[in-house]
Structure formats: structure tokens, C-alpha cells
Amino acid sequence: MTTAWVFPGQGSQYVGMARDLSEKFSSARLVLDAADSVLGFALSKLMFDGPETELTDTINAQPALLAHSIAALAALQQATNNALPEPALCAGHSMGEYSAFVAAGALDFADGIKLVRARGEAMKRAGAVRPGAMAAILGVDDATIQQICNDAGAVQVANFNAPGQIVISGEKEAIERAVEGAKKAGAKRAIVLAVSIAAHSELMRPAIEDFRAAVMMTPLRAPRVPVISNVTAQLMNEPNELRQEMLAQLTSSVQWVKSVEWMEAQGVTEFLELGAKDVLTGLNKRIAKMATTKPIGTVEQIEKYIAGAAT
């Protein structure tokens, strides 16, 4: 069996995240303690108890998701007595790419926490200067969506999540026009999301320069395990490639469909989704027809995985 580790992005956070991991696995608790120490406040308490409005703020959600993913990985390693085999590949969805960098050994966890906090701050500032919107479109093919975006104006595809499941991002009025265009094109669903930051769009361009210094100052290494780029759906092996990715990703589409298809074509037969919820598990089942995806984000899921591996 050839395994890839995949890591969820923003939107998967929830109040109570990683609490059970920290209570059962000392390795997970150490990860969360480290995040608290780096940030100088109790991120773990916010993860466990909320309030939800504060947790979902991008400056908190991003480090919370990274912390949960790495805590889940640490817990799984502890549960397997540190005998968990390294994966063939790693990938993360949007902000989840930073979790992949940490898991692949390219980025130290403490530096990663600081970096995603800075990323969230840069995105929040860019969103205040150039507020926008995002919308989810279901049941429309890629070519039609691209044409709808072109016709609507300042809007682009943010995420190619799964066949017929796309998120678009851009100026609010353009998003509204695109949603109407998608409905006319026969979309099963086309709804504006409850966000004000137009992630993965040109409205995030101010965030690139804002974030650049943090990216350039952060120590990076060549990853032990190759990481798949959100932007190109190709391998990244060198620190400079990772830096370029971190900046380009802010305004580029997340090529999740192509990434998963590429990994499956390389022989990946099992995906482990390490972190909060199971969004990628649902997406991957629609993309990789011959591979399995298993969520690893709670004690129950880890126990189920261990039991299955033993049979």
C-alpha cells in the first residue's frame, strides 16, 4: 500500500477541536502546548472552548488548524509506537499546505505556527483594504465556470475541490453576477459564502508583499517527503520552490483535483487526512476512485485506523 498524507485547510476548524487528542495522547498535548508558547496566548483553550467567532477569525483559525493536524500526526505516531511509515507524498488544501510542510520536515512546527499567524494577519489586512466575497458552485463543469467568471468580471476560481464542486472568489458584485450566471447554467447549487476575505483571488495581492518578509525570514529545508503544490499540482523539493508557493498561493487557484489525480497516478492507494473534520476525505472519494481516504483527527478515528491496520 502506498500512502499519502493530506491536510485540511480553513473552514474545517470547530470548537472542541483536538481536545480528545490532548487528553489521551501526551504527544498531542505537547504540540498544543508548543503552539500556546509560540503565540503567547492559549490557542488550545480557544480550540477547545471557543468562542466560535474568535476561533473562525483567520488569524486564529490558521494556527489552530496547523496545530490540530500536527497533534493528530503526533498522536498517530504515539499510537503506533513510533512505527508509522513515512508517506510517499504529502499535500495540503490551501492553508493545509503549511501542515504538509511541517509533516514533511521542511518547516519546524514553531516556525510554521508563527508563519500561518502572519499569513492570517496579512490576509485579514488585505481583506479590510479590498473586501470581497466567495461562493460555492455545484454541478457545473470547469470550462463553463471559467467562462462565467470571465463574463462576471473581477472573479476567479479559488478552489477546484472535486469534479463539479468549485469555489469562486473576487469582488462582491462580480461574485453575485457569477452566482446568477451559474444558476442559469444549471448549477445544482450556487451560494455566496459567509466570508469577507476573497481568498485565492487577485484581491489578496496586497497580502503577498505584506507576507513576503515573514516567508523570506523563515528557515526552510528540502522536505524529506515530496509535497504537491496547490498552484501547479507538481512536486516541490527545494526551499525556494516552497517560498514561491507560499506567496503565489495567496492569489492562485487551489488545484486539488489535479493534485489528487496526480498522486493516484503515481500509485497512491491510501490517503490519510490528518486534522480537523473530514472535508478532504469527502472530496478525495469523488476524485480518486481506486484509492481510500481515512480521516485521522480524533481519538476514535485513530483507534479505528489502528484496529484496521492490525487485521
| Domain limits, the chain | 3-128+202-310, 132-192
Give dist(CA 139, CA 137) in Å, integer: 7
Helix axes of 96-103 and 239-248: crossing angle, nearest 10 degrees: 170
**11-64 residue pLDDT tens:** 999 999 999 999 999 999 999 999 999 999 999 999 999 999 999 999 999 999
Do 104 and 225 meet the contact criterion of CB atoms below 8 Å apart?
Answer: yes
pTM over 0.75? The answer is yes
**72-81 residue pLDDT tens:** 999 999 999 9
CA count, 13 A, side-chain hemisphere, 224: 9
End-to-end alpha carbon distance in the chain: 14
Give dist(CA 221, CA 240) in Å, integer: 9
**121-161 residue pLDDT tens:** 999 999 999 999 999 999 999 999 999 999 999 999 999 99
Do 298 and 20 meet the contact criterion of CB atoms below 8 Å apart?
Answer: yes
Give dist(CA 79, CA 87) in Å, integer: 17
Do 204 and 126 meet the contact criterion of CB atoms below 8 Å apart?
Answer: yes
Work out the average pLDDT over 247-252.
Answer: 98
Mean pLDDT of the chain: 97
Nearest to 280 by CA among 300, 254, 253, 245: 254
Q: Is 200 a catalytic residue?
A: yes
Same fold, 3-128+202-310 and 132-192: no
Q: Which of 22, 27, 44, 94 is catalytic?
A: 94
pLDDT at 194: 86
Work out the average pLDDT over 256-270.
Answer: 97
* Architecture of the domain delimited by 132-192: 2-Layer Sandwich (3.30)
Q: Does position 251 have pLDDT exceeding 90, yes or no?
A: yes
pLDDT at 34: 98
Give dist(CA 182, CA 146) in Å, integer: 10
B/e letters for 32-65, b = 16+ CB within 10 Å, e = fewer, are bebbbebbeeebbebbbeeeeeebbebbbbbbbb
Give dist(CA 75, CA 24) in Å, integer: 9
**Could you give the 3-state DSSP secondary structure of residue 30?**
helix
Q: Provide the CATH number for the domain formed by 3-128+202-310 in this structure.
A: 3.40.366.10
Do 150 and 78 meet the contact criterion of CB atoms below 8 Å apart?
Answer: no
Q: Which of 69, 200, 201, 253 is catalytic?
A: 200
